[in-house]
Structure 1
Amino acid sequence: MYQFNQDLHQLQQRINLFLENRFVAINTDPSPLNEAMKYGVLLGGKRIRPFLVYVTGRMLGASMEQLDYAAAAIESIHAYSLIHDDLPAMDNDNLRRGKPTCHIAFDESTAILAGDALQSFAFELLTEIPELSNQQKISLIKTLAIAAGVKGMCLGQSLDLISEQKQISLLALETIHRNKTGALLCAALKLGFLCSPHFEDQLLAKSLENYCAAIGLAFQIQDDILDIEGDSSVIGKPVGSDLATDKSTYPKLLGLQGAKQKAKKLYLQAIRELESLPFDTTPLQELAAFIINRRS
C-alpha cells in the first residue's frame, strides 16, 4: 500500500543529498556566497516542488537520476524567491522555517547575490541532465524560465506588493496567487512530465496542468488559513503577519469558512483531473489531500 509520508520523506532526503553534493564542488572562498546559497536552499522545507517533479516523472517512466537535476533546479528557483521575498524591501521577515532568514544570517547584499546565483544555478543544472535530448532540455529551460519570470512568479510577487493595504477583488487575488505560487508548482509537474517518454503528449500535459492549477491555488489558500489559525512553532514564522500588514487574503475576502470551502472545492477539481489518466496517480491524489490538510 502506498505510504505518502514515507515517500515524501524519502524524496526529501534524496533531493537534499543531491543538492548537498552539488555544493561540495562549488568554492567561492573568500566570499561567503556559496555558504549563503547553501543556507538558503538547505534551510529545510517540505520540498513539495521536488516531490511533484519526482512523482510525476516516476509515474510517466522517467529516470530518477534525470529527475534529480530537474528537482534541484526548481528547488533552487524556489529558494532564490524566498531569500528575496524575505528582504527588507519585500516582506522584511527575520524568520524562515524557524531559523534566521538569509539576510539576517549573512547580510543583505550577500542574500541578494545568493538569490541571483541560485537562479542561474537552476538553469545550469537543467543543461547538465544526462542522456536527455536537447529538445527536452530546451523545453525544460523554457518552462522554468516562464514560470519564474514576468509571466509567472515575479509577476505574482509584484502584483502582491502593489496590492498591500488595498481592497482588491477575488479575481485579482486569484491572479496574484496563480502566478506567485501556482506557476512554480505547475512548472514542477511539467518538469517531471518533460523528462519522461511522454513529453510530447499534449492531452496528458493539459490534464496534468489543470490538476496543478487547482492544487497551486489550494496551496496558497491553506497558507492564508494557517496565517490565522496556525501554530507559529509549527509554521516556523509568526502567525498573523498577513493581518498585521493588511494583505488581501482568501479568509479576508471569503471568511475563514469560505476559504476552507474554496480549498476543498479545488481539491475535488484536482482529483477529477486525475481520474481519466491511464497511470497510477495515487501519489498526486495524496499530495492534493496533504496540501489542504497540512499544518505548516
Structure 2
Amino acid sequence: MTSQWALRRCLDRVEELGGAGLESHAYRAGVLGELHAVVGHDAWVWPLADPVTTVGVAPMAQGPFAGELPALISLRYRTAVNRWTALPVNPSRAVSLKQRVGDVPGRSALWGFLSRYGVVDVLSIAFADRWGLWGWLELWRGQGRSDFSIAEAQGLQTMSAAIATGLRNCSAREFQGGAPDGFTSGHRQAVLVLDEELSIVGQTESAALWLDLLQRAPRPYNGVPAEVLNVAAQLMAVECGVDAHPARSRVHVGSGVWASLSAAG
C-alpha cells in the first residue's frame, strides 16, 4: 500500500509541475511520471477536452492499441460505462471498470477490445472544475496484474483538483501571444468525409493546410488527425443516444490560433 508520505510527495510534485509554465504535453508527461510511483499501470490514455463540449483534443496515449486506434476511440465514445461525462466531478472520483461492473466486465461495450490486449482493469477519472471539463485519464493494467484497489483510486483522487487546475492553466497559456501575420491567411474552411470506420474517404482541397496543423494519429492512421477521430466519434455517440453534447471542439494549433471542428451526419 502506498504510504501517506508518498502520496503527499506526489501531490507536491504535481503542484510544482502545475506552476512550471509547461505546455500541456510536457505537463501531462510529468504528471504521469509522478503518478506511476503511486498508481502502477501498464498503458494509459489522456486526452484534453473542450471544456464546453467535453470532446477530446490533443490526446496522448501509450499502449499496444495504435493499430486499432479508430476502433478504440469509436467504442470509447459509445460506451456508457465510466464515460468521462458520467464520472463524478467537483470533486472528481476515480472509478475502476471492475469496481463499476463487478464480475460482469462485458457490461462495458469496450471489454471485448480490452480483453484482446490482455487488459484486466481500467481506472478512469475526469478532471473538471467550475469552469468546465479539462480532460480525462484512463490507466490500464495488463495480464498478471491485480485489479485497481480502492486505495489506489483514492490516491489518484488526491491529485485530481491540482491536475484540473494544471490543465486549465495550460489551456489559458495557449491564448497568450498573437499569431504571426498570415499564419492562417490561406486556411479556408475545409470538409472531410469519413466512413463508419473513421477513415477519410474524401476531402476538399482546402483541408490539407488544416491537417498539417492538427495532431496526427500514430501509424497506420497518421493521415487522420486525432482530433478529427474524436469529433467524429462524438457524433456517433450522439446518434446512438449515449451522450448529448454537440460533436464540436476547439483545438489550439499554435501561436494563439484556434481551429473549430464539427461533425455532421
For normalisation by structure 2, the TM-score amounts to 0.27
Richer in strand (by share)? 2
Richer in helix (by share)? 1
For normalisation by structure 1, the TM-score amounts to 0.25
Which gives a bigger RCO, structure 1 or 2 (Cα 8 Å, sep 6+)? 2
